[in-house]
Each structure stands twice: as structure tokens, then as C-alpha cells.
Amino acid sequence: MEKEFRHIAFLVMPNATLLDITGPYEVFSLAAQRLQQFGRNDFPSYILHTLSTGRNKIIRTSSGLCLQSEGALKSADYPIDTLIIPGIPENLEDMADARTLDWIKQQSTRVRRICSVCTGAFILAEAGVLDNRNVATHWKVCDKLAKDYSSLKVDRESIFVKDGNVYTSAGISSGIDLALALIEEDFGRTLALEVARELVVYLKRPGNQAQFSVALKHQESDYNPVQSVKEWLLENLKENITVEKLAERALMSPRNFARVFKRETGITPAKYIEKLRLEAACRFLTETQLSMETISNDCGLVNIDNMRRMFIRHLKVTPSDYRKRFRSIARI
């Protein structure tokens, strides 16, 4: 049986962000190596390509490191399966010329998947690929993307978003998360886990996970009593946590603690704890086979009904549906 290949093409603009390219590129490269080791001709594999927008094959990235492409757009004489558009860190208005945008628009109707990493979403938007779609991009430029392209529904939280055959991802390293998700789509969770372990990365962040974890999003405070409480919370979500108990740990009165916590983090202690528990439950649902009852107990949600109400309130989906949506059955 003749081996089937899926061509993954990276269209690299001058001054592109290096990790936007090399992160997902390495993910697909390792997946191809693993597929070859399996020795299964009935499974397709990946062939990777880099394309430049001009005649010069040498592309200088934003960090100063240069990459050598295979050639310009017209050199792509193979059927592209997945087209990936990395971003650049600045001068978003000058990312691509009209000829390149036309080529991207044409490819979007031919390829199985078209993807952007970080500010690459601006290129897809300018090419008309994202019209009326749900999209993600780097958190710093979400407002700009929404303002410049009013038909887009910009998701300011998710690390990547799928809308039809169009995938957009958030800032820089989320390109790795997106590539792992695409591999899982193609070959199942087992292969994606193999690649993630090889790269020593965190698997598997589902697309609707926030660009910042709760702890990271609210970590700006360097006030020691509040910081020590936040660190304790991460390890003790299972406990029956009250403001009074937290205030005692911080050596404050409950009223003063609540006021100081909100001042330092921008959120009340109760809402902060609920977000931590929701984030932990999401992680358990996608990464483990634990029962709903065990997860609700380990996250301090007491019972399944409480967990279900919290998921519907924040994510508009039940825990069981969340697990089905973001966890796949291994095929290899």
C-alpha cells in the first residue's frame, strides 16, 4: 500500500515571530517521526513545508534569526492539507501584499484546514478568510482586531478557536497547543501525548482554556499576606474555605482581608476561589478518567450538582459535555 502524506505548509512573512513558526513546526515534525516508527502504511503522515512571500528564500525573523524557505508561493505544487500563517510582533498593517492575500484567500477554499498563530489572524482577516467567524489572537491586540474587522467575533479568553475549517490561536506558544490539537484530531490523543511528552509541554490545554490561568491573571500583587493565601489556595481547594479562614491565615480581620484582597487582585476572594475551582475541574475533566463525583469533591465543589451549576453559569455547558468536547478517544 502506497503511503499517504498530508502536506503542512507554513507561510512565513518577513519579521515573523520565530516561535510562531518553530513551535508548531516541531510538533508536526515529531508527530511524523512517531508515525514512521509505528510502521503503519495505512496511516497517513506529515510532510512539512515553509513558503516565503517573495523570491528571497532567506527570511529574517523578528528575533534576527534567519530561516530558509523552500521557495515562494508558486513553488507549492502539492495539495496543501493544512496552511499555517504565523504572525509578526508589530506593523500589523504591512504584513502581506495584495498578491499574497489573494493566494491565501484562494487556498482557504481548497485546503482542509487553514490556521493562524498569534497576530497571523490579522492576515487571515485582511484576506477575508475570517469574515463573520469566531476568532482568537494575542490578548494584547484583541481590541485592535475587533475594531479593524467589525464582523469578527473576537474571543478574548481562549487559547485557540475552531470555526469550520478555520483555526485561530492566541499568543505565540499557543501555536504549540493548536498543533497538538490538530494532531489529536488526525490521529487521536495517544500520538498527541507522545509528542507533548517529547517536547516536555503541558498537555492538553483545550481551546477554550483562558490565555491566562486564574493564578497568572491575578498575580500582580506582591503583598505578602495576599500572595501567601493565594499560594495556599492552589494546594487546598478541597478544603471548606471561608473568608474567615483566609483572613486568619493572613493575620487580618475578615472585613479588612476581603478589602485588601480585592484591592490587590481586582477580584473578591469568593470569585477568585470559584474560578480556581472551575479551572481545576476543567483540567481534571480533560486530563483524567476520574468520576464526576471525585472531581467535584477534589475541587471543593461538594457535589456534582454544584459543579454542574458552576459550569453552566460560567461556560454554558455541562461538565459531561465539556469532557466529551475536549477529550478524544485514542486511535493509535
pLDDT tens for 53-74 read 988 899 999 999 999 999 999 8
Q: Residue 119 has what pLDDT?
A: 94
Clarify whether residues 54 and 121 are in a common domain.
Answer: yes
Contact by Cβ (8 Å): 263, 301: no
- Number of domains within the chain: 2
Greater model confidence, 276 or 10 = 10
Query: Does position 263 have pLDDT exceeding 70, yes or no?
Result: yes
**Contacts (Cβ under 8 Å, ≥6 apart) of 25:** 10, 48, 50
Most confident among 39-53, 56-70, 192-206 (mean pLDDT): 56-70
Query: 154, 173, 199 — which closes off a domain?
Result: 199
Q: Which residues pair with 118 in a beta bridge?
A: none
Q: Residue 217 has what pLDDT?
A: 44
Confidence class for position 267, pLDDT limits 50, 70, 90:
confident
178-196: average pLDDT: 88
Rg (CA), the chain: 22
Confidence class for position 301, pLDDT limits 50, 70, 90:
very high
Cell numbers describing residue 331: 486511535
Contact by Cβ (8 Å): 88, 119: yes
Query: 199, 233, 250 — which closes off a domain?
Result: 199
Clarify whether residues 189 and 52 are in a common domain.
Answer: yes
Considering the domain boundaries, does residue 70 fall inside one?
A: yes
Contact by Cβ (8 Å): 137, 121: yes
Which tens digits make up the pLDDT trace of 241-255?
A: 999 999 999 899 999
Clarify whether residues 117 and 158 are in a common domain.
Answer: yes
Clarify whether residues 300 and 179 are in a common domain.
Answer: no
Q: Residue 216 has what pLDDT?
A: 43
Which tens digits make up the pLDDT trace of 163-182?
A: 999 999 987 788 998 999 99
Q: Residue 222 has what pLDDT?
A: 56
Query: Does position 42 have pLDDT exceeding 80, yes or no?
Result: no
Considering the domain boundaries, does residue 331 fall inside one?
A: no
Clarify whether residues 109 and 226 are in a common domain.
Answer: no
pTM of structure: 0.70
Considering the domain boundaries, does residue 127 fall inside one?
A: yes
Considering the domain boundaries, does residue 143 fall inside one?
A: yes
Q: Residue 25 has what pLDDT?
A: 96
**CATH code for position 269:** 1.10.10.60
| Euclidean distance between CA atoms 47 and 50, whole angstroms | 11
DSSP string, 129-145: SSTT-EE---GGGHHHH
Clarify whether residues 157 and 260 are in a common domain.
Answer: no
Q: How many helices (H) and strands (E) would you count in the chain?
A: 14, 11
Considering the domain boundaries, does residue 332 fall inside one?
A: no
Clarify whether residues 181 and 225 are in a common domain.
Answer: no
Contact by Cβ (8 Å): 146, 114: no
Considering the domain boundaries, does residue 206 fall inside one?
A: no
Q: What is the mean pLDDT of the chain?
A: 86
Q: Residue 95 has what pLDDT?
A: 79
Clarify whether residues 164 and 238 are in a common domain.
Answer: no
Which tens digits make up the pLDDT trace of 206-217?
A: 444 544 344 444
Query: Does position 129 have pLDDT exceeding 50, yes or no?
Result: yes
Clarify whether residues 182 and 313 are in a common domain.
Answer: no
Cell numbers describing residue 165: 475549517
Q: Residue 55 has what pLDDT?
A: 84
Q: Which amino acid is at 211?
A: Q
Task: Measure Cα distances from 126 to 2, 73, 141, 148, 222 in Å.
Answer: 39, 18, 15, 9, 41
Clarify whether residues 26 and 159 are in a common domain.
Answer: yes
Cell numbers describing residue 186: 488526525
- Host domain of residue 293: 214-326
Clarify whether residues 11 and 105 are in a common domain.
Answer: yes
| Euclidean distance between CA atoms 220 and 116, whole angstroms | 30
Q: Residue 255 has what pLDDT?
A: 93
Q: Residue 56 has what pLDDT?
A: 87
Greater model confidence, 297 or 321 = 297
Confidence class for position 15, pLDDT limits 50, 70, 90:
very high
Tell me if the bond preceding 140 is cis, omega within 30° of 0: no
Q: Residue 202 has what pLDDT?
A: 55
Report the first-to-last Cα separation within the chain, whole angstroms: 19
Considering the domain boundaries, does residue 54 fall inside one?
A: yes
Lowest mean pLDDT across 86-95, 138-147, 227-236: 86-95
CA 83, distance to chain mean position in Å, is: 17
Query: 136, 171, 199 — which closes off a domain?
Result: 199
Diameter of the chain measured on Cα atoms: 73
Considering the domain boundaries, does residue 204 fall inside one?
A: no
**CATH code for position 15:** 3.40.50.880
Clarify whether residues 61 and 187 are in a common domain.
Answer: yes
